[in-house]
C-alpha cells in the first residue's frame, strides 16, 4: 500500500507489519523518514514536519538522511550515483513528478537531460521493499561510473551488529556476526559472478540485541548475478547506511548514449521484529511468492552421478545408475558433465554442445526414453558461458572469448569465458541450447559456471567495461528465452557449487546447487547460513558416499547423510552401483519418508531451533498443523543425556501427535520443555513428524 501526504511530498509504503517513509526537502533532496514498525500517514507527516538538514563547514547534515545520495554538493558519503560527461561530473537533480501505481511508487528526477527514476515497491502481503533505479538519457552521452540500486538508512541507535554470509569453494554461506564500527564494511564480488565469497545479503540488528526469535532485524539482498558491491557505512554521527548495486568499484559501469536507458537490479530490504528467524521466514515467503518460479510446486528427488563417475561416463553405465536410482525412489535422473563434444576431462569440449557419439551412440534420446521408462524425469548438465581452448567452438571463433589484445588469456580449470555481451555469441548459445532441448525429452538443466572473469577485455569495442553488466543481462535473457520456449524444463543454478546464488538468478531458476561440499556435517553449517535468506525449496542437497570421497574421508551413516540432505531439496549423488542391497533398501525408506515431509520442508515455515556450532543442532518446519523436526548430534560427551529440543511456532493450547511413535504431546510442553530426540553417540540424526490434533 502506498500513501501520499497532503503536500504531495511525503510518501509512505506499508506492508503487514512494517512501513517505509520518505519525503522531499525544500531543495528537492529526497530524505529518509522511517523504516520499521507500521505507522500511519499522520506519523510520517509529523516526522516530515521536523527540522530539515543544515550545513556546516566540516559535516554535511544531509549525510545519513538521503534516500539516494548522488555525487556532488554538500555530501561526503559514498555516492550511490556517480555520472560524468566530458565537461562535468556529478548530479544536481530537480524533482519532476511522482507516480503511484498499485504497490509501486516512482519518483522522477532530472538533471541536464538525464532522467533518474527511483522505484519503490512493497509486494502485496510482504514486508519486503524492492528498490531499483532507472536512468534514461535524453541529453548528451554520459558515463555512469556507479549506479547503485538503493541506499538504505537505519534509525539512529547506539550501535549495530552486522550479519553476513561468507565463504569460498566448498564452504559457502557461513554466518558471521560482528559489531559494526565507524567507517565502511564492504562485501562484494569482482569476479563476474555472484561469487562463493559472499552472498549478496546483510542483516543488521541494533546493539546486537536480536535473537533467533526476538528483536528488530534489518536485512538487504541484491538481485544480481554479476560483479557487485554492498557498502555498510557507520557515519561520524553513528548513523548507518547501506548502499549497494551492480559493479564492484566506481571506475565505470556503462555508457549511456542519447536515448538509452539503464535499469539497475533490485536491491530488496526487509524489516522484521521477529528476530533472525522471523526475518528469514519473511524472506522465504517473499521468494516463494514473488521470486522463485512455480514455487508452489515441490521439487523432485534427483540423482546426479558427478561424484560417482566424474568425467568417465557412458550410456550403459548411466543406464545402470538410473536403474538403481529408480529402485531408491528417485524422481529425476541427471547426467552431469562429460556427455558432449570431446569432454573426457576438464581439458576439452566446453563450447561444443553436441552429444559425444562414442559415449551415447544414439544421442541422448535413447537414455532419456529409458529414464522416462523407469518413471523418472531426465536432466543434463551444461556450462554455456565457457569454452575450452581445445574445442571446435574455440578453433572456429577464438575472438568470442573475453580477452585483452596482446595479453595472456588466463585459463582457470582449463577454460576461458565467452563474451556473452556479443550478440553473435548470444545467438550461438541460443541455437545450440534450443536445439539440445528439442533433441530429446529433457526435463531439467543444471547450468554451471566454473571460473571467474580475469581478462575481461573486448577488443574493438569502444567501451569494453560494459561487458561486465551486459554478460549478466545476456545470461538472464538467454535463460528467459529458453524457459519461454521450453516451459516444462526446470533449471538449476550452479557455479562450482554455490558461486551464483542471489535473487536475480533465483528468479530464473527452479533451485540452486548449494555447495560442492556434500559432507553431511559441513553441510549443516552451510545450510544454516543459506537459510538466513533463502528457502529450503531452492536448496539442493545430495546424499553421497561414505567415506566422503570429495573432501575429507569422513565416515557417516546413511541416516545422518539423509537427514542432513532432507533439510532442502533432497538428491542422491553417491555411486549407487557400489551400494549394497541393504543400503539401497534403506535409501528407499528415507526417500519415501522425504516425499511425505516434502510439502512441509519445501513450503513450510522454518524455525532454526539450534545452531550447528554446538553438538546438537535442529531445524523445524511448520505448515498447516504439520510439523517436521530434523535433528543432528555431532558427538555426545561424558555420557551426558542429549537435551530435548524446544519447538517453536506451535499452538500452546493444542496437542500434537507424533507420527513415528503415536505419542501425544501438549503444545505448551513442546514449546517450554521440549521434545526428546533419542539421539546418542556420534553423527546421529532423527526425523520427527508431529501433527496437530
Binding residues for ligand GLA, rule: CB under 6 A, are: 306, 336-337, 381, 448, 450, 494, 496-497, 513, 516
Nearest residue (CB) to ligand GLA, 306 versus 476 = 306
Closest to ligand GLA by CB, 337 vs 626, is: 337
When the beta carbons of 111 and 448 are compared against ligand GLA, the nearer one is 448
Q: How far is the CB of 516 from ligand GLA (least distance, A)?
A: 5
Contacts with 289 (C-beta within 8 Å, 6 or more apart), sequence order: 123, 125, 126, 295
In three-state secondary structure terms, 372 is helix
* Percentages (nearest 5) of helix, strand, coil residues in the chain: 20, 35, 45
Classify each residue of 636-649 as buried b or exposed e, where b means 16 or more C-beta atoms within 10 Å of its C-beta: beeeeebeebbbbb
| CB nearer ligand GLA, residue 449 or residue 453 | 449
Separation of alpha carbons 533 and 167, rounded Å = 15
Peptide bond into 547 cis (omega under 30): yes
Question: Taking the complex as a whole, how short is the minimal distance between the CB of residue 548 and ligand GLA, in angstroms?
Answer: 14
Backbone phi and psi for residue 480, each to the nearest 5 degrees, phi listed first: -60, -40
Half-sphere exposure (CA, 13 Å, Cβ side) for 592? Answer: 8
Q: State in angstroms the smallest separation of the CB of 449 from ligand GLA.
A: 9
Q: Supply the minimum distance, in Å, between the C-beta of residue 542 and ligand GLA.
A: 9
Q: Indicate the residue among 14 and 388 with the shorter CB distance to ligand GLA.
A: 388
Residue 383: CB minimum distance to ligand GLA, A? 7
Q: Is 516 a catalytic residue?
A: yes
Q: Which residue's Cβ lies closest to ligand GLA?
A: 337
Catalytic residue among 390, 448, 470, 502: 448
- What is the C-alpha separation between 611 and 163, in angstroms, rounded? 15
Angle value at C-alpha 72, between 66 and 76, nearest 5 degrees: 60
Distance CA 567, CA 527 (A): 8
Task: Find, among 579, 516, 499, 116, the residue nearest to 310 by Cα.
Answer: 516
Catalytic residue among 352, 516, 519, 684: 516
Q: Smallest distance from the beta carbon of 301 to ligand GLA, in angstroms? A: 17
Give the H/E segment covering residue 585.
helix 581-603
Q: Is-catalytic flag, 298?
A: no
**HEC assignment per residue over 267-328:** EEEEEECEHHHHHHHHHHHHHHHHHCCCCCCCCCCEEECHHHHCCCCCHHHHHHHHHHHHHC
In 604-656, which ranges are continuous DSSP H helix? none
Render 69-92 in DSSP notation, one character per residue: PBSSSS--SPPSEEEEETTEES--
Q: Least separation, in Å, of the C-beta of 682 and ligand GLA?
A: 28
Q: Rounded to whole angstroms, how far apart are CA atoms 112 and 635?
A: 66
Q: Which is nearer to ligand GLA, 256 or 475 (CB)?
A: 475
Considering the complex, what minimum distance in angstroms separates the CB of residue 602 from ligand GLA? Answer: 21
Distance (Å, rounded) from C-alpha 114 to C-alpha 91? 9
Nearest to ligand GLA of 13, 386 (CB atom) = 386
Give the active site residues.
Answer: 448, 516
Amino acid at each position: 500500500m502506498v500513501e501520499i501526504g497532503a503536500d504531495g511530498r511525503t510518501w509512505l509504503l506499508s506492508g503487514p507489519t512494517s512501513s517505509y517513509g520518505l519525503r522531499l526537502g525544500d531543495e528537492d533532496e529526497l530524505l529518509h523518514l522511517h523504516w520499521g514498525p507500521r505507522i500511519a500517514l499522520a506519523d510520517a507527516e509529523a516526522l516530515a514536519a521536523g527540522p530539515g538538514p543544515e550545513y556546516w563547514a566540516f559535516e554535511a547534515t544531509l549525510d545519513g538522511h538521503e534516500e539516494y545520495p548522488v555525487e556532488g554538493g554538500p555530501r561526503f558519503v559514498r555516492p550511490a550515483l556517480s555520472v560524468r560527461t566530458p565537461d562535468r561530473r556529478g548530479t544536481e537533480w530537480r524533482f519532476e513528478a511522482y507516480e503511484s501505481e498499485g504497490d509501486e511508487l516512482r519518483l522522477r528526477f532530472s538533471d541536464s537531460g538525464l532522467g533518474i527514476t527511483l522505484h519503490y515497491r512493497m509486494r502485496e502481503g510482504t514486508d519486503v521493499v524492492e528498490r531499483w533505479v532507472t536512468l534514461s538519457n535524453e541529453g548528451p552521452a554520459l558515463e555512469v561510473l556507479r549506479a547503485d540500486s538503493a541506499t538504505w538508512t537505519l534509525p539512529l541507535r547506539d550501535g549495530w551488529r552486522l550479519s553476513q554470509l561468507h565463504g569460498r569453494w566448498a564452504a559457502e554461506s557461513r554466518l558471521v556476526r560482528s559489531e559494526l564500527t565507524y567507517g565502511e564494511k564492504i562485501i562484494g564480488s569482482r569476479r563476474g559472478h555472484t561469487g562463493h565469497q559472499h552472498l549478496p545479503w546483510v542483516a543488521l540488528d541494533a546493539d546486537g540485541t536480536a535473537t533467533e526469535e526476538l528483536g528488530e532485524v534489518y536485512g538487504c539482498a541484491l538481485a544480481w548475478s554479476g560483479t557487485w558491491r554492498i557498502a555498510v557505512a557507520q557515519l561520524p554521527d553513528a548513523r548507518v547506511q547501506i548502499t549497494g548495486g551492480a559493479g564492484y568499484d566506481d571506475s565505470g559501469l556503462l555508457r549511456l548514449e542519447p536515448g538509452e536507458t539503464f535499469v539497475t537490479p533490485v536491491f530488496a530490504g526487509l524489516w522484521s521484529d521477529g528476530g533472525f528467524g522471523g526475518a528469514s521466514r519473511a524472506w522465504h515467503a517473499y521468494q516463494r511468492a514473488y521470486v522463485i518460479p512455480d514455487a508452489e510446486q515441490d521439487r523432485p528427488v534427483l540423482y546426479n552421478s558427478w561424484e560417482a563417475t566424474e568425467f568417465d561416463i557412458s550410456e550403459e553405465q548411466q543406464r545402470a545408475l538410473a536403474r538403481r536410482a529408480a529402485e531408491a525412489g528417485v524422481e529425476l535422473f541427471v547426467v552431469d558433465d562429460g556427455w558432449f563434444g570431446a569432454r573426457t576431462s576438464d581439458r576439452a569440449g566446453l563450447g561444443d554442445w553436441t552429444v559425444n557419439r562414442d559415449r551415447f551412440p544414439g544421442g541422448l534420446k535413447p537414455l532419456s526414453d529409458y529414464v522416462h521408462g523407469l518413471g523418472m524425469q531426465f536432466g543434463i548438465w551444461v556450462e554455456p558461458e565457457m569454452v575450452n581452448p581445445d574445442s571446435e567452438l574455440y578453433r572456429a571463433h577464438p575472438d568470442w572469448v573475453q580477452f585483452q589484445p596482446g595479453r595472456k588469456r588466463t585459463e582457470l580449470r582449463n577454460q576461458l569465458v565467452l563474451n556473452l555481451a556479443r550478440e553473435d555469441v548470444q545467438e550461438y548459445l541460443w541455437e545450440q541450447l534450443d536445439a539440445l532441448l528439442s533433441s530429446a525429452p529433457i526435463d531439467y538443466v543444471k547450468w554451471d559456471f566454473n571460473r571467474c572473469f580475469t581478462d575481461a577485455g573486448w577488443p574493438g569495442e569502444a567501451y569494453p567495461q560494459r561487458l561486465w553488466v551486459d554478460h549478466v543481462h545476456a545470461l538472464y535473457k538467454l535463460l528467459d528465452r529458453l524457459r519461454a520456449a521450453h516451459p516444462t524444463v526446470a533449471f538449476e543454478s550452479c557455479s562450482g557449487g554455490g558461486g551464483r546464488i542471489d535473487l536475480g538468478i533465483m528468479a530464473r531458476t527452479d533451485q540452486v546447487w548449494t555447495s560442492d561440499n556434500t559432507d553431511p556435517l559441513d553441510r549443516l553449517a552451510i545450510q544454516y547460513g543459506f537459510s538466513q535468506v533463502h528457502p529450503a525449496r531452492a536448496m539442493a542437497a545430495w546424499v553421497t558416499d561414505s567415506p566422503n570421497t570429495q573432501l575429507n574421508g569422513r565416515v557417516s551413516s546413511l541416516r545422518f547423510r539423509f537427514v542432513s540432505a532432507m533439510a532442502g531439496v533432497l538428491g542422491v549423488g553417491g555411486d549407487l552401483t557400489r551400494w549394497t542391497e541393504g543400503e539401497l533398501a534403506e535409501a528407499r525408506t528415507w526417500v519415501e519418508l522425504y516425499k511425505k515431509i516434502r510439502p512441509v520442508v519445501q513450503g513450510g515455515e522454518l524455525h532454526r531451533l539450534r545452531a550447528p556450532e554446538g553438538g546438537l543442532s535442529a531445524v523445524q518446519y511448520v505448515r498447516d498443523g504439520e510439523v517436521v523436526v530434523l535433528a543432528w548430534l555431532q558427538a555426545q560427551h561424558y555420557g551426558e543425556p542429549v537435551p530435548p529440543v524446544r519447538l517453536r511456532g506451535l499452538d500452546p493450547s493444542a496437542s500434537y501427535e507424533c507420527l513415528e511413535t503415536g505419542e501425544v504431546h501438549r503444545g505448551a510442553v513442546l514449546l517450554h520443555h521440549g521434545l526428546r530426540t533419542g539421539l546418542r553417540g556420534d553423527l546421529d540424526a532423527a526425523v520427527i513428524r508431529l501433527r496437530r490434533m
